[in-house]
Structure 1
Amino acid sequence: MEKLVSIIVPLYNVEKDLMRCVDSILAQTYPHLEILLIDDGSTDSSGRLIDQLTDPRVRQVHQPNSGQAGARNKGLDLATGDYIIMVDSDDWIRADLVEMCLHTAEETGADLVLFTSYNVNQAGEKQYVNRNSGHLLTDAGSVPWNKFYAAKLLSDIRFPLGYWYEDLGMIPAVVLRAENPVKLNEALYFYQTDRIDSQSNLVQDTKFLEVIPMLEHVVSEAKRLSVYNGNEQEIEWLYMEHLVYRTVLRKIIDLKDHQLRKQALLEVRETMQKTFPKWKRNGYMSGSGLTACLKKIAVRLYLAGFIRLGDLVWKIPFEKRRQQTGF
């Protein structure tokens, strides 16, 4: 009997990009699919668009707005497949994603297949994302969409509600739970990087510091699932990547209010000191080569309170690079 693969797509007000996503799923070379389109209270035409679909593999679900976490959780509650993937509604996937991942899982006995992706900007330019080892927490990524899951991995775990970065609160625990993760170097997913309303493109005061309770949630879930012991360094490095490097060098640098920047940097420093007192000597590097060195220097300057020096080392060059590359 053919394996059933459930594809969960949460959607909210994405009428412009929605059908590109759905069409890429309907065009999969592996046909035995359960496609769960979860309309999370859209106020545009998104709900009407999915209701027009007649493919029997598609199940349309409409619910009051509960956020992306609530929509994904609904999909997980309804999924009946042997395997599960998640696709964001403004992204799209390669036609052989399911076929390639399913073949890999069945051939190797993998309970988690990780693949890589392309970042795509509004100009249509693509940037390949290298995942290195693929299975370490900082390589695998905290996003749910670059992974092909055996359903059992997700049977009793859900996204935390009411937070930004809910992916970060759950996905690393799932990765730690996997007994046989396998990585593919193929870029099977196309991630739209410069969507206007993306959390990755918005700075609303210091709400991005919700990475802290999400990282704490990873710890509690890892302990609940009995995968914390033996993975302490992985979790410490997860804190390093998401709270120290990404928050300081991608979020805090965009705050225009100098006092808010100081307060946010203080919270990062105090959290790391409380959770991992020896974090400055744990050997973690974000990236490689000169970039990794510059990141390390900039982080130390920012967290020591030398904000202008940090900007000279990192923010100004980073902005120039972003303008030049489009990413």
Structure 2
Amino acid sequence: MASGTREECPSVSLVVPLYNEEDNVAPLVEQVHAAMANVDWPWDLILVDDGSSDRTALQLKQSLLRYPDTVRVIILQRNFGQTAAMQAGIDAATGTVIATMDGDLQNHPQDIPRMVRRLLDEDLDLLVGWRWQRKDGLWLRKIPSRLANLLVGRVTGIRLHDYGCSLKIFRTSVLRQIRLYGEMHRFIPTWMATITSPARIGEERVGHSPRVHGKSKYGLSRTFKVILDLLVMYFFMRYRAKPGHFFGRIGLLFGTAGVLILAWLTWVKLYLGEGIADRPLLLLGVLLSLVGVQFLSTGIITEMLARIDYEASGKKPYVVRTMLPDQKMKGQSDGR
């Protein structure tokens, strides 16, 4: 499908990463098939076992035997994390539209057909689920999540109500232009905004249920990971193609402060005749000047590495969505 065109009959790949969800596999597969029973698109369900230590893999194989035409199973060698498992499913997807959701039965598969239709009707690249009536604990899940959403929105400029909702619908041609590493699945909308317009990212209210089986993989410890990942995300959004500006600004700040301190101490020594050797300010000025030089040098090195990366990989500092008119240049041979 050419990017930027509406597709009347998509093909949909639903990607679900699972980790120690043995009791949820069978009802999950049943719910997905019930939700997709009346759609007129080809679709498949890709279940990714992220190195579970329980019987999740066995349950997935049984689901494959029951639904061989629609179910595909990927079993990872070990536990790589939700982001890696999601990327494995995305790599295996063949649909022109990719839907992702959690395997804990808290997301509602019946929301998927409606979201796919809206993605196509409004010509969006990403539609994010919004759990507006969330069925989680107030202090351990809701409040930290709301604070994280506000923080991420303010830092990245992509303001969404629910970054943490795994139920998302993607246009495959756009999603394939990014790669997910670490624990960056929670920042997928922000990554998408680096290659498409934020106006092509929408939100949709979706259902949410309390967890019945299994144990939640989330907790307060994830708050610190979010903060660290957010710093990385901020760097990549603002300075991926110009890292020298990031380190250069810091270097100029420290370097200028150090030079000003040393200049003042020089004036004190030469014109006032006062001793400066035993002043802590002298050590601070020298330290700030050296730190400034180090950051400036780091900026130059990162600029060189960025240029090498773009040239070696053939990457371009832009993404073309479509080109109009779609025809050969005047006078160009058609090869006949």
TM band (smaller chain): 0.5 to 0.7
Q: Who is 1:186 aligned against? A: 205
Q: Who is 1:160 aligned against? A: 181
The higher relative CO (CA closer than 8 Å, separation ≥ 6) is in: 2
Query: Aligned to 1:60, what secondary structure does the other structure show?
Result: strand
Shift of 1:3: 0.9
* Amino acid in structure 2 at the alignment position of 1:86: T
Q: Who is 1:22 aligned against? A: 29
Shift of 1:175: 4.3
* Contact map agreement 2:20 2:214 (CA 8 A) in 1: no
Query: Aligned to 1:114, what secondary structure does the other structure show?
Result: strand
* Contact map agreement 1:115 1:186 (CA 8 A) in 2: yes
Q: Who is 2:228 aligned against? A: 213
**Alignment equivalent of 2:15, drawn from 8, 24, 48:** 8
* Amino acid in structure 2 at the alignment position of 1:37: L
**Alignment equivalent of 2:126, drawn from 104, 112, 124:** 112
1:45–1:170 distance in 2 versus 1, CA, 3 Å: same
1:81–1:185 distance in 2 versus 1, CA, 3 Å: closer
Q: Distance in 2 between matches of 1:193 and 1:57?
A: 26
* Contact map agreement 1:21 1:89 (CA 8 A) in 2: yes
* Amino acid in structure 2 at the alignment position of 1:174: M
Q: Is residue 2:76 matched to residue 1:58? A: no
Q: Distance in 2 between matches of 1:167 and 1:191?
A: 22
Q: Deviations over 1:55-81 (max 9, x none)?
A: 211101111121212211111111121
* Contact map agreement 1:116 1:187 (CA 8 A) in 2: yes
- Range with greater deviation from structure 2 (176-185 or 29-38): 176-185
How is 1:216-235 mapped onto 2 (pairs within 5 angstroms)? Answer: 216-223=231-238
Q: Which runs of 5+ in 1 are unaligned?
A: 227-327
RMSD: 3.6
Shift of 1:169: 4.6
How is 1:1-327 mapped onto 2 (pairs within 5 angstroms)? Answer: 2-29=9-36, 30=39, 32-53=42-63, 54-55=66-67, 56-65=69-78, 66-117=80-131, 118-121=133-136, 137-143=158-164, 145-161=166-182, 165-175=183-193, 177-179=195-197, 180-181=199-200, 183=202, 185-190=204-209, 192=211, 196-200=215-219, 202-203=220-221, 208-223=223-238
TM-score, normalising length: structure 2:
0.54
Shift of 1:9: 0.7
* Amino acid in structure 1 at the alignment position of 2:192: V
* Amino acid in structure 2 at the alignment position of 1:58: V
Query: Aligned to 1:72, what secondary structure does the other structure show?
Result: helix
Aligned pair count reads: 215
* Contact map agreement 1:157 1:170 (CA 8 A) in 2: no
Q: Distance in 2 between matches of 1:197 and 1:94?
A: 17
Q: Distance in 2 between matches of 1:154 and 1:191?
A: 29
Q: Distance in 2 between matches of 1:57 and 1:225?
A: 39
Query: Aligned to 1:222, what secondary structure does the other structure show?
Result: helix
Q: Deviations over 1:155-177 (max 9, x none)?
A: 1323222xxx5334544222454
Q: Deviations over 1:199-252 (max 9, x none)?
A: 23x54xxx74222331122124324787xxxxxxxxxxxxxxxxxxxxxxxxxx
The percentage of aligned residue pairs carrying the same residue is 19
* Contact map agreement 2:130 2:204 (CA 8 A) in 1: yes
Q: Deviations over 1:119-170 (max 9, x none)?
A: 2259xxxx9x9999x9963424333623211112321323222xxx533454
Query: Aligned to 1:139, what secondary structure does the other structure show?
Result: coil
* Amino acid in structure 2 at the alignment position of 1:211: V
Structure number with larger C-alpha Rg? 2
* Amino acid in structure 1 at the alignment position of 2:190: P
* Contact map agreement 1:170 1:217 (CA 8 A) in 2: no
